[in-house]
A = this chain, B = another copy of it.
Amino acid sequence: MQIAQHLQQTPTSYIREILSDATAEGVISLAGGLPASDHFPIDLIEPSLQSLARAKPEVFQYGETQGYRPLLDFFQQIYQLPETHSALVCNGSQQALDLIARTFLNPGDGVAMEAPSYLGALQVFAIAQARVESVTQQADGPDLNELAELFASGKVKLFYAVPDFHNPTGLSWSLATRKAVAELCIAHGITLIEDAPYRELRFTGTALPLVSSFCPDHALVLRSFSKIATPGFRLGVATGPSQWLDEMIKVKQAADLHTNLPMQEVLLQLLQHQDFPKHIDHLRQLYRSRYQCLADALHKELPAGCEFDDIEGGMFIWLNLPEGDPMAIAKAAIKEKVAVVPSTVFYDQGTEGKPALRLNFSYPSPDELQVAAQRLAKVLAG
């Protein structure tokens, strides 16, 4: 049976390939985007799991497509959604993005993205047969002149962005950029898709408002609980104007009826737990120390010309290389038993950025980060 034509152009994921090599014996992986395994809030989750079967029998039956009502009510309140806005619980924010593409994009519709960009978003837009329009990413966000010109051209319908601790570069937008982008979205009738999975993982500097807070009726916000709760739950939420969410709910109904309910109840109890803020603080401190460990080791070990910007949160360092083919370097690194992701995979086909590697520091232990930096130095010196 032939696969559908629109999938025949989808690039095979290098990340899939490298991640399978990355799990080989002795390989230290800086390639994934995994939170630290030993620091999930198990103590806070365990009592909910233990009482679930007796306390909440309703979570075993079919539920509403939109989500588990007590969790939806909680989101409405903590995100201070106006009456005209609502929430949709999804199987991770990845599904929320996929539902947006399926609900609003026709083949050939334009989507603006910073380059480089999140691979999972590139895959979603490729399947939707959207046309990706890349905008240069600067240290404080997208190039505003480029963005204004692109918006004015009428070529795009959506702007997909990760303004806090971007994947793959770790960069965050300045306050001025946030306001300017929101104004551009309003002025040109472009919908902002604000993907905020790393937002809570700020370990230094001052938190800035969501971009969508400056253009709430022109934005859909995607939040993930994979980084602050656990990825295994596969829970995320989309919020925004109800007339858009209502259309996405219809597609979700056909896609999988609704998201699993027991995990929604467990998440609700976790988010309401009095010790949950402490858990987030713990993660921030943990990731700050791991970041510092990797950053120090890289500064010490790497040859001249390999540079990276300081970051204030998230899970990634974007290591700019003076030269070379990042894919070849990543393959050579695997032979030295360290896995990294080459910059190439984060660009839409046809665009190409400066050579770089994405390095994850949230998952490996401090010892592993140090050894990984030494191995990487050997490859880059080679």
Contact = CB atoms under 8 A, between A and B. Distances in A.
Contact of A234 (B2, B94, B254, B257): B257
A75 interface: no
Contact of A247 (B7, B37, B95): B7
A266 to B, nearest CB: 8
B46 A254 contact: no
A276 interface: no
Contacts of A232: 59-63, 260-262
Contact of A120 (B104, B254, B262): B254
B91 A259 contact: yes
Interface in A75-100: 90-92, 94-95, 98
Contacts of A157: 1
A253 B45 contact: no
Interface string A244-270: 100100110111111111110000000
B53 A4 contact: no
Copies per assembly: 2
A123 interface: yes
A39 B191 CA distance: 46
A148 interface: no
A308 interface: no
Interface in A1-44: 1-7, 10, 12-13, 16, 32, 34-35, 37, 40, 42
B49 A42 contact: no
Given A254-B123, A257-B92, A46 B54 contact: yes
A4 B102 contact: yes
Q: How large is the interface on A (under 10, 10 to 19, 20 to 34, 35 or more residues)?
A: 35 or more
Given A120-B254, A251-B127, A262 B244 contact: no
A144 interface: no
Contacts of A98: 254-256
Nearest to A249: B16
A5 B62 contact: no
Given A4-B106, A191-B1, A94 B60 contact: no
Contacts of A263: 260, 262-263
A60 B35 CA distance: 10
A355 interface: no
Contact of A16 (B94, B104, B253): B253
A7 to B, nearest CB: 7
A256 B40 contact: no
Given A45-B60, A91-B91, 11 more contacts: A7-B250, A13-B253, A34-B62, A42-B57, A92-B256, A98-B254, A123-B253, A232-B260, A232-B261, A235-B260, A262-B263
Q: Which 5 A-B pairs have the closest CB atoms?
A: A60-B230, A232-B261, A46-B53, A91-B256, A95-B256
Interface of A: 1-7, 10, 12-13, 16, 32, 34-35, 37, 40, 42, 45-46, 49-50, 52-54, 57-63, 90-92, 94-95, 98, 102-106, 120, 123-124, 126-127, 157, 191, 226, 230-235, 244, 247, 250-251, 253-263
